[in-house]
Amino acid sequence: SQELEQSPQSLIVQEGKNLTINCTSSKTLYGLYWYKQKYGEGLIFLMMLQKGGEEKSHEKITAKLDEKKQQSSLHITASQPSHAGIYLCGAAQNQAGTALIFGKGTTLSVSS
Amino acid sequence: GAGVSQSPSNKVTEKGKDVELRCDPISGHTALYWYRQSLGQGLEFLIYFQGNSAPDKSGLPSDRFSAERTGGSVSTLTIQRTQQEDSAVYLCASSLDRGFYNEQFFGPGTRLTVL
């Protein structure tokens, strides 16, 4: 079965610093989601990447999909305390996209 | 408009008891998903409903787990004879239609603790 591995597992950065989170799939990626979760809350959709080489940005968060490497990266520029939380990548296990699998998450803390 | 809602938000039960978790999807969303999030295990797919089609139960961990979706809207996840390893946050999500290209909107989850 497909697995998604996220790295790092946790990250502490100083406010204002840049950071990158990676998500690597053990099998072909049909597309990839990035979600953010805060403790006790549901998942908040960040962005969806559908094809290789695609790059999307929202405010200070940029995500890119590298189909050849079966990998996606999430980059945060000039981190703020509001960026703190758990970042999860999710991918479709098939082209129908009916069942997502998720990585175990990267916990981000931003110190001010 | 209203998002996905789940109830209860927290549930503490004794080992061996049955529990029911409820999910109210976003109105008009035909697809509904249940996931389980255990500490250190990430998010695990459990079951998927799409319209009137037979549900995809491939993620259910045992026959103690079952789910229904009545009238194509509200869904109930039932866990019979709960075990301590069932303790987790159970998340429900809905999407407008099936498929990867329809974003899944998640509820806040139900935190289940089995003593």
pLDDT digits (tens, 9 = 90+) for B68-91: 998 879 999 999 999 999 999 999
Nearest in space to A100 (alpha carbons), one of B40, B70, B21, B42 = B42
Average pLDDT value for residue range A77-96: 88
B72 touches chain A (CB under 8 A): no
| B43 contact residues in A (CB cutoff 8 A) | 43, 88, 90, 100-102
Half-sphere exposure of B62 (CA within 13 A, CB side): 8
List the 67-106 stretch of A: residues with Cβ below 8 A of B. Answer: 88, 90, 92, 95-105
Report the alpha-carbon distance of residue B24 to residue A54 in Å, rounded. Answer: 34
Cross-chain Cβ contact A99/B31 below 8 Å: no
The pair of structure tokens assigned to A73 is: 């990266």
Reported as a single tens digit per residue, the pLDDT across B23-45 is 999 999 999 999 999 877 778 88
Contact B46, B77 (CB under 8 A): yes
Report the alpha-carbon distance of residue B90 to residue B113 in Å, rounded. Answer: 11
Query: Residues 6 or more apart from B47 whose CB is under 8 A from it?
Result: B33, B34, B55, B56, B57, B59, B60, B65, B67, B77
List the 87-106 stretch of B: residues with Cβ below 8 A of A. Answer: 91, 93, 98-106
Question: Which of B40, B45, B108 minimises the CB distance to A100?
Answer: B45
Question: Which of B48, B103, B106 minimises the CB distance to A99?
Answer: B48
Q: Is the pLDDT of residue A51 over 90?
A: no
pLDDT grade for A29, boundaries at 50, 70 and 90: confident
Q: Is the pLDDT of residue B1 over 70?
A: no
Query: What integer pLDDT is reported at residue B11 of this predicted model?
Result: 97
pLDDT grade for B5, boundaries at 50, 70 and 90: very high
Q: Is the pLDDT of residue A38 over 70?
A: yes
Query: What integer pLDDT is reported at residue A92 of this predicted model?
Result: 77
Give the number of other Cβ atoms within 10 Å of residue A59's Cβ. 11
Report the alpha-carbon distance of residue A32 to residue A47 in Å, rounded. Answer: 9
Q: Tokens 């259910």 sit at which residue?
A: B60
Contact A24, A65 (CB under 8 A): no
Contact A69, A24 (CB under 8 A): yes
Question: Which of B40, B100, B104 minimises the CB distance to A104?
Answer: B40
Query: What integer pLDDT is reported at residue B110 of this predicted model?
Result: 95
Q: Is the pLDDT of residue A96 over 80?
A: no
Nearest in space to A76 (alpha carbons), one of A9, A17, A12, A4 = A17
